[in-house]
Amino acid sequence: MEGFEEHKRIPAVIGAIDGSHIPVKASRECPENYINRKDFHSIVLQACCDHEMFFTNSYCGWPGSVHDSRVLRNSDIFDSASNRHDDFFPKISHLLGDATYPLKTGIMTPYKDTGHLTEQRKTYNYLHSSTRMVIERAFALLKGRFRRLKYVDIDKIDDIPKIVIVACVLHNISLCNEDSFLDHG
Q: What is the pLDDT of residues 158-169, one digit of tens each?
A: 999 999 999 999
State residue 172 phi and psi, 5-degree precision: -65, -40
Look up residue 165 and give its amino acid: I
> What value does the mean pLDDT take over residues 45-60?
96
Answer whether residue 50 is part of any domain: yes
Has residue 183 been placed in a domain? no
Domain of 163, in residue numbers: 2-176
How many domains does one find in the chain?
Answer: 1
Which own/partner pairs from 7-11 qualify as long-range (CB within 8 Å, at least 24 positions apart)?
Answer: 7/51, 7/131, 8/127, 8/130, 8/131, 9/127, 10/96, 10/127, 10/128, 10/131
* For residues 138-161, average pLDDT: 95
3-class DSSP state of 4: helix
Using the predicted structure, report yes or no on whether residue 185 has a pLDDT greater than 70: no
Residue 84 within a domain: yes
Q: Is residue 129 part of a domain?
A: yes
- 184 in any annotated domain: no
Neighbours of 105 (CB within 10 A): 11
